[in-house]
Amino acid sequence: MSWRNAKAVLAVLVGTGAVIAVPATVNALISDDVTLMDGRPVDVGVGVGVTLSPPAGSRLSLSDSVPAISTVLLRHEGATLEVTAVSGVDRPADFLAHARRKLRREGMFTVRLRPVVTRAGVLGERGDLVPVPGGVGVSGCYAGFVADERGIVVKISNVSECRAVPPLVWVAVESITVAPEEEW
């Protein structure tokens, strides 16, 4: 190979490396989370009409929060709070049973279920999350709510059970509201 060809090959390799390395470096320098300082309500998705008020200092994950599928992921005091909301729920009991089956498919049992209500009066259930034996699920806390044909599923991980949820994280769960249909 001639010296000129070697320089051309080297230039192509350097250019290819730059195309790969520059975006990866920029991505690594940009934070994936945003700190929420004011505690203002956060919409759970677009056009669903579900909000919650995270505690000041919570971190909103930009890459894991997907408004198009109505999921918000927050981190606070070591706990991870994943909230998903859907519309078109016509049978609350069926929606909650479906949510528990979905968690089971993800490797988690819901145990010690009991009724729960938000400060706005949204009714639901909550229970501990326990990994399926030999599964890949995590321990944590689950809550499911249904109001005005909207269903909300809350999964809190990085805690051992519902009693271990940091108080301010549970306050955020209790802040869930469902707007009347004409407002969204």
Quick check: 177 and 120 in contact, CB under 8 A?
Answer: yes
Both 23 and 41 in one domain: the answer is no
Looking at the structure, tell me whether residues 11 and 43 fall in a common domain: no
What span, in angstroms and rounded, lies between the C-alpha atoms of 52 and 42?
Answer: 5
pLDDT per position as a tens digit, 116-142? 999 999 999 999 999 988 777 789 999
Q: Are residues 131 and 158 in the same domain?
A: yes
- Same domain? For 3 and 48 the reply is no
Task: Return the pLDDT at 26.
Answer: 36
Check pLDDT > 50 for residue 115.
yes
Q: Do 95 and 12 reside in the same domain of the chain?
A: no
Instruction: Residue 8: give the domain boundaries.
Output: 1-30
CATH of the domain at 132: 3.40.1000.10
Into how many domains does the chain fold?
Answer: 2
Q: What single-letter amino acid sits at 92?
A: P
In angstroms, rounded to a whole number, what is the distance separating the alpha carbons of residues 40 and 55?
9
pLDDT digits (tens, 9 = 90+) for 19-35: 554 444 434 334 455 66
Distance in angstroms (rounded) separating the CA atoms of residues 21 and 15: 10
Q: Are residues 39 and 50 in the same domain?
A: yes
> pLDDT tens digits for 33-46?
566 667 688 888 77
Neighbouring residues of 46: CB distance < 8 A, sequence distance ≥ 6? 67, 68, 70
85 and 11 fall within a common domain: no
pTM value is 0.77
Tally of CA atoms within 13 A in the half-sphere of 99 that contains its CB: 29
